Structure 1
Amino acid sequence: MRRLLLSLLTVLLPGLSWAGVVWRGDFETGGIGQYSSTQRVSADRLQVVQNPVTQGRYALKATVRQGDNPINSSGNRNELVYLSKEKEGSEYYYRWQVMFAPDFPSVNTWQVFTQWHHEGCCGSPPVEFFVKGEEIRLTLTNTTTPWKTKLVRGEWQDFIFHVKWSSSASTGFVELWHNGKLVLSKLKHATMYPNDGIYLKLGLYRSDTVQPVGVVYHDGFTQATQWEDVRPVEPTPVEPTPVEPTPPADAGTPEPDAGTPEPDAGVPSEEGPPVDSTSPTPSLPETGSAVPPSFETISHEVGCSSAGGSLGVLALLGLGGLLRRSRRG
């Protein structure tokens, strides 16, 4: 009997969906402990703050002043390091949010805010997001800039970056969504240097010629293997509240016509209850798309039917109890 119940429960109840999140660096611990190490001249250069934030309770405030050089290398920086160690042939989605302070410097040189650095000592990283002048840019292996957009200050910007890591241009690729829209379709390109590794750096790293103070905020960093684990959640639609029609003003009761018979109060009206023609007809999501749709069209539901599953379980448990009572008898 027990085997029968377990078999039926397996059929009636849907399976759980396993998440594809590999790592979070979203600062929701209230600190920077999610990261492997820091490159900063002092604690106030990389601060976890509660305002501004765009998700959860905490975000990172990265500040760079001219002369900040914690590792005695080129440029000025204060960055967090995460030794993610992506391997040749691995494929991930990364999502994070960035906001540039209202007084973020406008200079005709590079200011890197997110980079996937090679483990080698020298040269430009194979993947870097940076600001130059009044543009945000994505550059690959210091040779290709497949995407750029206007720099916007004082507003959170959302990035989803899809990468296959490879030193081969025929195997590696990148894909990018910015503020909910696909802005770079899948582009084949080398994303690693040959015989080299990859790790993440987050904060602010810029030319040492920049004089004004630079501040940039980071929030919500997530690394995952599945699109569903990084896509934004659409808000639940709110059903409109029905409005009762206003009855016409009472103009008085007319005198009954002697030649017209009174209606029989015992006969029900043939009109019946009013039909609500405003309820929307549910539509099914489109399937078969190889590339995830934009955030404006995608829908995804996770979970199970609690009513159907519960009734089935109760019915099976009741059946089991009846069989046990009959055996005891």
Structure 2
Amino acid sequence: MLLNTATAPLLNTLRTLLLLVVVSAGLMSCSQSENVAPQSQITTADASARPGSSVINNDGFEGSWFSNFWIPELRTATAGTISTDHSRSGKQSMRFSWTPAQYDGTNPSAHSELGTDALKNGEVERWYGYSVYMPAAKMANDNEPIVFSQWHGVANPGEEDTFPPLAFYLEGGNQIKAYYRSSNVAITKAQQMPTAQTILRLGTATYDKWVDYVVHIKWDPSGNTGILEIWQDGKQVANERNINIGYPQKYKPYWKAGIYAWTGKSKYAERVLYYDDVTIGKATATYETVKPGQTNDIAR
């Protein structure tokens, strides 16, 4: 059919409007299908090294602040800051600071930490990778212990919580130890003693150097199917299997990174450590999925 000069512009306008409608419909469809919670988002670069299906969260602290999956327990303006002092990958890391001056005798004032959500929906197993830097001038030879990594329980309704079922301690003599605990009865009292406690000696602390950790946990308080695997700088230092670990609580423990100085004392006016290259993986993750130091470990 031949078009005269009067009808051609009208048809071109109609074609343009039709094209806009089709494109808009496509964009709306993509937006709906990608409606994912922020803590579940993985960048394209992350996915190339760490399979997106097994990674829950990661943070290299390369932005102006930490990623939004963290829950801060930072009691002072200097308790947690993004720093260029040291970095495991990229140019920045998370600096944690705790001072005896902030301690007022309450538990909250003993913390300078970032926490995560508790496991939900029946989850019992996860992988964690992260790197820790302890400057000797702020941490070495202090006989006042601290916890620098802990997994904390979540009390059931009407019950209480007690000592963390897994925690990494820096103790006197520069010794690093991992404590894991379990209970086969409900936790009904604050600081209720667990049924069992095991201490793993992880060696003498290394200062002024990044130390990589990978931790694999399967929580099981009473069924003897629990797992605790720990790697330190690529060497497996714990391989606990068929163990009881954790408490009979509906939601399994949440992880906290930073400094917990429960004695409220230190030989230093300020204790400092740094975290970098954090990756949290599902049960389907592996050591390779979460290990620190991968070049495209990107923070948002």
TM-score normalised by structure 2 residue count: 0.66
Among residues 51, 71, 76, which one is paired with 2:110 in the alignment? Answer: 76
Q: Does 1:199 align with 2:259?
A: no
Distance of 1:71 and 1:27 partners within structure 2 = 31
Count of aligned residue pairs for this structure pair: 220
2:289 corresponds to: 229
Among residues 126, 149, 153, which one is paired with 2:165 in the alignment? Answer: 126
Among residues 153, 175, 181, which one is paired with 2:229 in the alignment? Answer: 175
SS in 1 for 2:150: strand
Q: Compute the displacement of 1:60 (Å).
A: 0.7
Distance of 2:71 and 2:123 partners within structure 1 = 26
Distance of 2:110 and 2:134 partners within structure 1 = 17
The within-5 A match list for 1:111-190 is: 111-120=146-155, 122-133=161-172, 134-141=174-181, 143-168=197-222, 170-190=224-244
- Is residue 67–residue 76 contact of structure 1 (8 Å, CA) maintained in 2? no
Distance of 1:18 and 1:122 partners within structure 2 = 33
The within-5 A match list for 1:261-300 is: none
Distance of 1:136 and 1:178 partners within structure 2 = 11
SS in 1 for 2:177: strand
Could you tell me which amino acid in structure 2 is paired with residue 175 of structure 1? E
Q: Compute the displacement of 1:220 (Å).
A: 1.0
Distance of 2:79 and 2:144 partners within structure 1 = 21
Identical residues among aligned pairs (%): 22
1:215 corresponds to: 272
Distance of 2:236 and 2:290 partners within structure 1 = 14
Distance 1:40 1:57, change over 3 A: same
Distance 1:191 1:131, change over 3 A: same
2:55 corresponds to: 21
More helix by share: 2
Q: Compute the displacement of 1:170 (Å).
A: 0.6
TM-score normalised by structure 1 residue count: 0.60
Q: Compute the displacement of 1:67 (Å).
A: 3.7
- Is residue 27–residue 48 contact of structure 1 (8 Å, CA) maintained in 2? yes
2:92 corresponds to: 58
Q: CA RMSD in A?
A: 2.7
Structure with higher RCO (Cα < 8 A, 6+ apart): 2
Distance 1:166 1:67, change over 3 A: farther
Could you tell me which amino acid in structure 1 is paired with residue 126 of structure 2? Y
Per-residue Cα deviation, 1:248-276 (whole angstroms, up to 9, x for no partner): xxxxxxxxxxxxxxxxxxxxxxxxxxxxx
- Is residue 50–residue 58 contact of structure 1 (8 Å, CA) maintained in 2? yes
Could you tell me which amino acid in structure 2 is paired with residue 137 of structure 1? K
- Is residue 57–residue 69 contact of structure 2 (8 Å, CA) maintained in 1? no
Larger radius of gyration: 1
Distance 1:52 1:157, change over 3 A: same
